[in-house]
């Protein structure tokens, strides 16, 4: 039995937004981009985290009374969660074996078959745990389940080669083509990302869906959008998804005591104008 483990922060069943049909989406912890607009801040680090929802907390102190840890560093025993009467605390992240994840995926196979759906591996950056990803993809393919990998592409090409035989579709994020702009928004260069996308396109073995987050005051000026459109003329892809910025992850930043970058609201007509460019 395969004992490789990965840290997962959510297994979302009945998803309609991460590929075709009804899907199960597996969210891996850990990412090597630091996108300022990230709506899943709990995905950024590999380790488990304690989330404290202050709006639910009444300050009763029961969590402090039950806590046996005197070092000041959480050991994730979970006693405070059990004790809290308001569900104000939550441990984010759990280690799973390949078999444990597959058991969750296979439960909904009948719905995948009826809807043309399947399983999507996301994050964070699921490809940073490539050995685990390879094994779970292999199991899904053997079971006849459609597979998709949602990635920012900032990994060695060898990681793509490892999973390509078992991946039907890549949901590939492009934040910006201009390298300086990409560094400003994500803290990393996009050279590897763009190079991998070209190789993936040339490889031709998997479908590619391009996903472009539309972030106010980052990539919303027409010049950058046109640069992305020009770059994609040399790429083989199935379709493009423009993902409007939203603030639905703000409460997670508060629960993790992290700074939230509050970008301005997106103009309602801007997406339609970008569609015309593409």
Say which CATH number the domain at 255 has.
3.20.20.70
pLDDT of 32-73, one tens digit each?
999 999 999 999 999 999 999 999 999 998 888 888 776 667
What is the length of the chain? 278
Q: Which of 52-56, 188-192, 223-227 has the lowest average pLDDT?
A: 52-56
One domain for residues 147 and 110: yes
Domain total for the chain? 2
Q: Which of 3-12, 82-91, 224-233 has the lowest average pLDDT?
A: 82-91
One domain for residues 67 and 201: no
One domain for residues 167 and 146: yes
One domain for residues 64 and 138: no
One domain for residues 59 and 166: no
Strands 169-173 and 207-214: parallel
Query: Domain range spanning residue 60?
Result: 51-90
pLDDT of residue 1: 46
pLDDT of residue 68: 79
Q: Which of 65-69, 188-192, 273-277 has the lowest average pLDDT?
A: 65-69
One domain for residues 14 and 61: no
Indicate the pLDDT class of residue 2, thresholds 50, 70 and 90. low
pLDDT of 153-176, one tens digit each?
999 999 999 999 999 999 999 999
- What average pLDDT does this structure show over 84-88? 91
pLDDT of 98-108, one tens digit each?
999 999 999 99
pLDDT of residue 70: 66
- What average pLDDT does this structure show over 245-265? 93
One domain for residues 180 and 208: yes
One domain for residues 263 and 218: yes
The yes-or-no verdict on residue 238 having pLDDT over 90 is yes
pLDDT of residue 105: 98
The yes-or-no verdict on residue 225 having pLDDT over 70 is yes
pLDDT of residue 42: 96
Which among 31, 32, 28 has a CA at the least distance from the CA of 5?
A: 28
Domain's final residue, options 90, 118, 145: 90
pLDDT of residue 69: 77
Mean pLDDT of the chain: 94
pLDDT above 90 covers what percent of the chain?
Answer: 85
pLDDT of residue 143: 98
């Amino acid at each position: 039995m395969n004992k490789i483990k990965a840290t997962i922060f959510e297994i979302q069943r009945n998803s309609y937004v991460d590929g075709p049909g009804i899907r199960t989406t597996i969210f891996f912890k850990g990412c090597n981009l630091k996108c300022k607009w990230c709506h899943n801040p709990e995905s950024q680090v590999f380790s488990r985290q304690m989330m404290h929802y202050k709006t639910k907390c009444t300050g009763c102190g029961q969590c402090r009374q039950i806590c046996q840890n005197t070092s000041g560093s959480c050991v994730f025993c979970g006693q405070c969660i059990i004790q809290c009467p308001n569900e104000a605390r939550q441990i984010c992240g759990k280690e799973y074996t390949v078999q444990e994840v597959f058991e969750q995926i296979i439960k909904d196979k009948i719905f995948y078959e009826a809807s043309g759906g399947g399983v999507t591996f996301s994050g964070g950056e699921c490809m940073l745990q490539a050995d685990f990803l390879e094994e779970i993809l292999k199991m899904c393919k053997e079971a006849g389940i459609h597979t998709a990998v949602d990635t920012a592409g900032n990994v060695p090409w060898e990681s793509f080669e490892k999973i390509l035989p078992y991946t039907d579709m890549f949901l590939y994020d492009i934040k910006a083509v201009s390298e300086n702009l990409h560094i400003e928004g994500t803290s990393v260069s996009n050279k590897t990302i763009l190079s991998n996308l070209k190789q993936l396109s040339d490889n031709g073995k998997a479908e590619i869906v391009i996903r472009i987050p539309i972030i106010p005051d980052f990539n919303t000026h027409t010049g950058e959008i046109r640069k992305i459109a020009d770059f994609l003329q040399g790429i083989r892809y199935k379709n493009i998804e423009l993902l409007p910025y939203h603030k639905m992850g703000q409460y997670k930043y508060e629960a993790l005591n992290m700074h939230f970058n509050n970008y301005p609201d997106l103009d309602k007509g801007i997406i339609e104008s970008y569609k015309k460019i593409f």
